[in-house]
Amino acid sequence: MAKVLPKIGSRRNEHIGSRKNARKIPKGVIYVQASFNNTIVTVTDVRGRVISWSSAGACKFKGTRRGTPFAAQTAAGTVIRTVMDQGMQRAEVMIKGAGLGRDAALRAIRRSGILLNFVRDVTPMPHNGCRPPKKRRV
């Protein structure tokens, strides 16, 4: 009978730790998506892998309060705290959307102490896009 060899790299043999704080990221990209109902802030490394994210809804704001500037500021502050613990010093900011939270989120990011390389508005603009719906008859 052949002897059973232990699997190399199996879960039982290898220590599995949390990777949440394992990475040190000196530079990243901060995406702010500000709609009228919510603001989502996502931080990635330069390759595009998500490090941390937060939104106004995740910060316990419900209903119409999610679209407020204060909710966006809170969401941005939450994300910035987590990535600064991982060693981020420089970032690029991409802002998308026309919501109330875009300026408040940017203000919170500037105040945090992270050096910003550039701030870019990536809101999609139609070049006279889709045909509008037909006129409403009442």
CATH assignment of the domain containing 57 = 3.30.420.80
pTM for the full model? 0.78
* Whole-number pLDDT of residue 114: 92
Q: Which domain holds residue 117?
A: 27-121
Residue whose tokens read 């105040």: 111
Domain assignment of residue 135, yes or no: no
Question: Mean pLDDT per 10-residue run, the chain (138 residues)?
Answer: 66 55 82 95 94 94 94 95 92 94 94 93 93 92
Dist CA 75 CA 57 (whole Å):
9
In a domain, 107, yes or no: yes
Residue 36 resides in a domain: yes
Residue 52 has a pLDDT of: 94
What domain count does the chain have? 1
Q: Are 60 and 83 in contact (CB under 8 A)?
A: no
Q: What pLDDT is recorded for position 25? A: 87
Using a 10 angstrom Cβ sphere, with 0-12 exposed, 13-18 middle and 19 or more buried, the burial of residue 53 is middle
